[in-house]
Structure 1
Amino acid sequence: MSAKKKPELLVTAKNLDEARQLIHSGADALHIGGKEYGLRLPGHFTLDQIGEATEIAHQNNKKVYVVMNALFHNEMLIGLDEYIEKLAQFQVDGIVFGDPAVLMIAKKVAPQIALHWNTETTSTNYQTVKYWAKKGVTRAILARELSLEEVIDIKKHVDIEVQVQVQGMTCIFHSKRQLVTSYLNYTGQEIKNTSQERGLFLKEHKRPDERYPVFEDPHGTHIMSAEDICMIDHLGRLIDAGIDSFKIDGILKSTDYLIKVVQYYRIAIDQYVNGNEITVTTKDIQKIQPKNRPLGTGFYFKEQYY
């Protein structure tokens, strides 16, 4: 049996040490970014650190994509040209964007950098993907609300790379406002740390066992899913469909956990593309999964209602 096309295994990294370890654990590419322009990253890299991470990756024949998926207001455009020019000097392998402002400036000052389109929620059909491909986009990062069949159908109809998330939590709500701080002000409570490190979460009265992580940063308030996507049992269908990149999102996860997850997915991908039976399953990941984070398959196998 001939080997199948091997998809890229992509993972987020929160700092340089984690980036090194994830590369050596089997990741093909990294998602990193800075606090200026990146949303919902597990950690923030300065420009110099992005350059160092890119050098480390390239020494190991791996890639680095810089996440610039913020919601841009006018003031955020100041200095954007210089930032992207610096990324070009580092020879990063791609920029992840949602706002067309990033695309327009990148095409002007660094046309050699690949552009990965990621609007989080509106990448839901192949005609929209084709539109952005005509604008110069080389990869579409599909919405997490799509079913598996919809993902496969989009890939059939487009000529650019397609990326999907296979592991980790997802964002279910974002506001530019500081909602947690506003609530604490309203109730007269002392305002404490509301960042990722605080470990805040929301829960419903009717479903008290479900915990939704919530945190604030300069870009606003972010509420995350109550469970983690885990698609390791279904990689075969995604690989057969020709999906180009599988993302593991490591936000709010420890380095040790991420290393193990990357190793499991590396094994599974390599086994399948070489025609062998996959020997790792969701049960293996369940053994290392945080007890308050159940595993699921997101919307891949259930209908999404808007």
Structure 2
Amino acid sequence: MEIIVTVGKLEEINMLKEAGATTLIFCDEFHGTRAPGKFSKDELILAFEKSRSCGLKTAVFMNRIYTDVELELANEYLLFLKENKVDFIYYNDPAIFMLASSLDMVKYLVYEPDTLMTNSRDMQFILDQGVHHAVLSTEITLDEMKMMIENVKGNTEAILFGYLNMSYSKRHLIQNYCDEIGIKNSCLNKMDCILVESTRDGRMPILEDEQGTHIYTDYVLDAFEEANILKDCGLNAIRVDSIFLDIDVVVDACKILSGKSKLIREEFELKYDMYPFSKGYMYQKTNLVK
């Protein structure tokens, strides 16, 4: 079972290795988004070398929605990743698939369209294109996840710990709001901004960067027990998304999911009671809670 973790800082690599991580996801300053940290090309090269020296696989986010004029940059970045022997490339824009096809790199691709991968037919179609694996939507139930995993031939991944990306707009919504009411926007590229709706009590992390506005769930998913159920169904990889989280809680979550810790869910939640843990949509459909 692969334990895949997003990385915010270079110094986290050894800690995550000891916690049981097998693959680390990094993000650069242009091609990726929705990551706990961003790295320059020189930092990425160092991160890849350091990860491989620990026996870890490497991955990158390439989840930007590209315009036509940006495709040349995307092609150059793919060549950079190929030269540096990256194991996996997470994408959602079909243009990346086409570019990767021309470079004989489809086998490194991981399709992650956020909330859209909700049925086995769509997933099988993607897997049949030759990508390494695809990521299940976080907005389906446990039973629906089980059915998808059991009904497809190919590799599958599920995000089972962390804040979940709930909404994305390429527009800069916070900036537009601030412009409308005449105040300075202090949230650009900040990890500590919160959205509170008038109809909900939860506090939703919101990130605005060069690529738009990203709104997250008001809870942290901790599907530890469900991970074992999905593993028995044939799930190949578990993701721990560390965005907005302290490294200590990420490390402990990795240890539980990798079997290196016997800490049970109740003890874990008590230890980190500053976080709003939840099972998310595991046992209730989204139309019942949205």
Q: 1:288 to 1:73 in 2, by over 3 A?
A: farther
Residues 1:241 and 2:241 are matched in the alignment = no
Residues 1:40 and 2:34 are matched in the alignment = yes
Instruction: Give the C-alpha shift of residue 190 in structure 1.
Output: 2.5
One of 213, 225, 247 as aligned partner of 1:221:
213
One of 12, 34, 52 as aligned partner of 1:58:
52
Which residue pairs with 1:263 in the alignment? Answer: 255
Percent of aligned positions that are identical: 25
* Counterpart AA for 2:40: T
Instruction: Give the C-alpha shift of residue 106 in structure 1.
Output: 1.4
**2:171 and 2:81 mapped to 1: Cα distance?**
29
* Counterpart AA for 2:237: S
Aligned residues of 1:155 and 1:243 also touching (Cα < 8 A): yes
Q: 1:235 to 1:170 in 2, by over 3 A?
A: same
Relative to the length of structure 1, the TM-score reads 0.88
Unaligned 5+ segments in structure 2 are: none
Query: Any idea what SS the aligned residue of 2:218 has?
Result: coil
Q: 1:85 to 1:264 in 2, by over 3 A?
A: same
How many residues end up aligned between the 2 structures? 288
Query: Any idea what SS the aligned residue of 1:223 has?
Result: strand
One of 39, 49, 73 as aligned partner of 1:79:
73
Instruction: Give the C-alpha shift of residue 285 in structure 1.
Output: 2.2
Residues 1:286 and 2:272 are matched in the alignment = no
Query: Any idea what SS the aligned residue of 1:280 has?
Result: coil
Which residue pairs with 1:201 in the alignment? Answer: 194
Instruction: Give the C-alpha shift of residue 290 in structure 1.
Output: 5.6
Instruction: Give the C-alpha shift of residue 170 in structure 1.
Output: 0.7
**1:23 and 1:180 mapped to 2: Cα distance?**
37
One of 249, 272, 280 as aligned partner of 1:298:
280
One of 151, 157, 170 as aligned partner of 1:157:
151
**1:137 and 1:110 mapped to 2: Cα distance?**
11
Aligned residues of 2:107 and 2:132 also touching (Cα < 8 A): no
Q: 1:189 to 1:111 in 2, by over 3 A?
A: closer
Moved more, 162-171 or 109-118: 109-118
Aligned residues of 1:81 and 1:105 also touching (Cα < 8 A): yes
* Counterpart AA for 2:113: T
* Counterpart AA for 2:278: G
Instruction: Kindly report the root-mean-square deviation, in angstroms, between the aligned alpha carbons of the 2 structures.
Output: 1.8
* Counterpart AA for 1:286: E
Aligned residues of 2:187 and 2:193 also touching (Cα < 8 A): no
Instruction: Give the C-alpha shift of residue 231 in structure 1.
Output: 0.6
**1:257 and 1:147 mapped to 2: Cα distance?**
24
**1:10 and 1:119 mapped to 2: Cα distance?**
17
